[in-house]
Structures are given as structure tokens and as C-alpha cells.
Amino acid sequence: MQRDIRRQRTKFETVEPLGKRVLIRKDEDKKATKGGIALPDNIEIPTITGRVVSVSAQIAADENFPIRQYDKVLFNPKGSVPVDFEPGNQLFVVPIDDVVAVFRHRS
């Protein structure tokens, strides 16, 4: 007698980075410069911007890393790992060393 085993897909609700990493939602690619020059679709920009979705517990506890959830950051995507979590949502697990800048408002 053969049992019918069906896999149930579990929907994950969160992605929590581990170690010295952050989870970043990549900003949409720009199709034109501020001056109105159209950019080709295949252009590669080595650093890109995004919003921090989540930080690892190790980063959150370390005062040497002034980065928090919802910060806008500039990061190098070469060492990052893409996460296929939600369709149309470009998420990356990024080592903290690849976050090169945090955008701040002037006080």
C-alpha cells in the first residue's frame, strides 16, 4: 500500500539575517538620470541603494554599526545573496562590510 504524501508549502513571514549581515530591499532601477538621459536596460552600477528591512541581532547590539531598520543605504551587491521571498520584491542579505554609506537627514 502506497501512501500519498503531499508537500505543504510553508509561507515564511520574515527573513532574519545572521552574523554581521543586514537584509536590504533594493530600490528600483533608475531608467533615466536627473538630467533626462535615458539609461540602457543592461547597465550595471556596482553600488546601489535600498532600505534596510532587518538587521541581525549581532549588528543591532554593536554600537560600532550605526545602522537600523528603515535606514536608506548605499551598498555593493557583489557579495550579497539575493532572497526570493516575495515576487517583485528585490531583497538581499548583505554583509555589513558591503554597506558603504547610510543616508541621514541634517538636523
Residue 1 domain flag: no
pTM: 0.73
Classify residue 12 by its DSSP letter: P
| Dihedral, 74, 79, 85, 87 alpha carbons, nearest 10 | 70
* DSSP for 22-40, written as a single string: EEEEEPPPPSB-TT-PBPP
Residue 50: which CATH number?
A: 2.30.33.40
Reported as a single tens digit per residue, the pLDDT across 56-93 is: 999 999 999 989 999 999 999 889 999 887 777 789 99
Residue 34 domain flag: no
Residue 8 domain flag: no
Total structural domains in the chain?
A: 1
Residue 92 domain flag: yes
4-8, 39-43, 102-106, range with greatest mean pLDDT: 102-106
